[in-house]
Amino acid sequence: MKQDDFQLWLNAGLDGELDLGKSLQMQEQLGHDAALKARWDRQQALRTAIREKADYYQAPDRLREKLAKSLTSNASRGGAHALPEPGQRHVDYERRRWGLALASALASALLTWGITRNVLDVGVNHRAALERIAEDAVAAHVRALMADRLIDVASSDQHTVKPWLTAHLTYSPPVPDLSAQGFELVGARRDVIDGQTAATLVYRRRQHMISSFVRPTSVQQDAKVMSMRGFNVIRAARNGMEYWVVSDLNARELGDFVELIQEGK
Amino acid sequence: MDKNQAQVEQMLLHMDAAYNLARWLVRNSNDAEDVVQESMLRALRYVGGFRGTDIRPWLLTIVRNVSYAWLKSHRPAELFDDSSDELEVNSTLDRPDLNPETAAIRHAEKALLNEAISALPVMFREALILRELEELSYREIAQVADIPIGTVMSRLSRARQLLAQAIGAIAHASVRETQR
């Protein structure tokens, strides 16, 4: 691989832009290639530094006030006006173009901003939220291993596990039988992930326990691998269900598992 | 009108993202406020035509364009910096021991880091901010900056190398300073 390509590959891996196969290949190579690992560590350090230390500038309140004010004064002047001269690209022109109702909707939304922003500020906190969910998932997995509380319902029969989950949750996650592929169903439990009760399916591969948290979602998300406290964590979403899969199983086999469970019979 | 109102409220949720991008691109809070104000006005005008699920990249595209228009009329030199494509990037392969640089990055002061990012040419700064602070995907960055995905990849890669070297160099200089 040319050095430039190599650098792009490394960056794409860091950014979660590789497909699962290439991502696992990178993880494996990182395990035994010290030079690659050094470059990876440097990139990781840079990312952490930027995300923790670089300024994230929040819109000052006076900007919101200014915007609200210009909209209200515009609204009180009487809403939509004639089209401006062609080519005139002044802010006033943009302003005159919207009707009264939209302007006042925005103005009132701006004024109640203080109340809503804490609840709804999803974009900014997106990354922190993902990390928190991964931590929740790993913590629940570890707790289950330590407390010998792996399962609420112990059964290798999908037809026992699924009704139990359906009875205890507001949704019905797929519970595929993957024994033919070497993943034995152990049972299921409920965990609180991200402040919500989620279904957790427990499978076993040799001596490795796998916790697979499932909850409904409207997004699609290609599988992404991360590593946390020595566990591999894979997040993926397809067909209306989001999966967070945690195990000490190697990333390659865990990746296979995620593919299989998403096909969900 | 209900649909419009919902979209307006969606946009307001991303006002911080809009301001953050503008602030990093024009590098001044007063000018960033003007840019965001104009961007929001423009966004409101066109929001009826928005057909998508995630309004944030769409809004950031407008902010980015207004920022560039602002730079073009106030500080054109920053946009037409031909040297940026030829900026020297030392080969990392030539330097087997990256650990000192990695350590410098880990221990970099907040002010130093902000300064180093701020000093990157605007196209690299933009890619880095969209990726690391706004967490856009390569595809979304390509949309916002109106460039092919391959260019997103190379700009990000270059941005990170330049930044790592800048931090390493500053740290190295300060070590020599203390040894003197």
Least confident of A22-31, A90-99, B4-13: A90-99
Confidence at A2, pLDDT banded by 50, 70, 90: low
CA distance A121 to A138: 25
ipTM of model over 0.95? no
Say whether pLDDT at A262 is over 60.
Answer: yes
Smallest CA-to-CA distance from A134 within A54, A226, A27 is with: A226
Strand partners of residue A246: A211, A233
- Alpha-carbon distance B40 to nearest alpha carbon in chain A (angstroms): 9
Please tell me the predicted confidence (pLDDT) of residue B5: 67
| B34 near A CB under 8 A | no
Please tell me the predicted confidence (pLDDT) of residue A109: 65
- Alpha-carbon distance B155 to nearest alpha carbon in chain A (angstroms): 10
Kindly identify which residue of chain A lies nearest to residue B22, measuring between CA atoms: A57
Each residue's pLDDT tens digit, B124-172: 999 999 999 988 989 899 999 998 888 899 999 999 999 998 998 877 7
- Do residue A55 and residue B92 have CB atoms under 8 angstroms apart? no
- Do residue A38 and residue B97 have CB atoms under 8 angstroms apart? yes
- CB-nearest partner of B157 from A11, A49, A120: A11
- Do residue B8 and residue A64 have CB atoms under 8 angstroms apart? no
Backbone angles phi, psi at A18, to 5 degrees: -90, 150
Please tell me the predicted confidence (pLDDT) of residue A123: 44
Q: What is the mean pLDDT of residues A151-170?
A: 85
Smallest CA-to-CA distance from A10 within A48, A32, A53, A42 is with: A42
- H/E stretch holding A72: helix A61-76
Please tell me the predicted confidence (pLDDT) of residue A104: 64
Confidence at A213, pLDDT banded by 50, 70, 90: very high
State the best of A8, A56, A96 to mutate against chain B, taking most chain B CBs within 10 Å: A56
- Do residue B106 and residue A51 have CB atoms under 8 angstroms apart? no
Asked whether the beta carbons of B124 and B164 are under 8 A apart, the reply is no
Kindly identify which residue of chain A lies nearest to residue B1, measuring between CA atoms: A102
Neighboring chain B residues of A101 at a CB cutoff of 8 Å: 1
Smallest CA-to-CA distance from B152 within B136, B167, B134 is with: B136
- Alpha-carbon distance A200 to nearest alpha carbon in chain B (angstroms): 28
Q: What percent of chain B has pLDDT over 70?
A: 84
Higher pLDDT, A159 or B4: A159
CA distance A245 to A265: 17
Say whether pLDDT at B3 is over 90.
Answer: no
Say whether pLDDT at A183 is over 90.
Answer: yes
Say whether pLDDT at A191 is over 70.
Answer: yes
Say whether pLDDT at A12 is over 70.
Answer: yes
Q: What are the residues whose beta carbons fall under 8 Å from the beta carbon of A27, sequence distance 6 or more?
A: A225, A227, A251
Higher pLDDT, B2 or B53: B53
Q: What percent of chain A has pLDDT over 70?
A: 74
Say whether pLDDT at A203 is over 90.
Answer: yes
Each residue's pLDDT tens digit, A53-74: 899 998 888 888 787 776 665 5
Q: What is the mean pLDDT of residues B12-41?
A: 92
Kindly identify which residue of chain A lies nearest to residue B11, measuring between CA atoms: A106
Say whether pLDDT at B59 is over 80.
Answer: yes
Please tell me the predicted confidence (pLDDT) of residue A46: 93
Backbone angles phi, psi at A124, to 5 degrees: -65, -35
Each residue's pLDDT tens digit, B79-116: 876 544 544 555 554 555 778 888 889 888 899 999 99
Please tell me the predicted confidence (pLDDT) of residue A121: 42
Higher pLDDT, A235 or A72: A235
Higher pLDDT, A105 or A240: A240
Please tell me the predicted confidence (pLDDT) of residue B35: 96
Q: What's the per-residue H, E or C state across chain B?
A: CHHHHHHHHHHHHCHHHHHHHHHHHHCCHHHHHHHHHHHHHHHHHHHHHCCCCCHHHHHHHHHHHHHHHHHHHHCHHHHCCHHHHHCCCCCHHHCCCCHHHHHHHHCCCHHHHHHHHHCCCHHHHHHHHHHHHCCCCHHHHHHHHCCCHHHHHHHHHHHHHHHHHHHHHHHHHHHHHHHC
Say whether pLDDT at A149 is over 70.
Answer: no
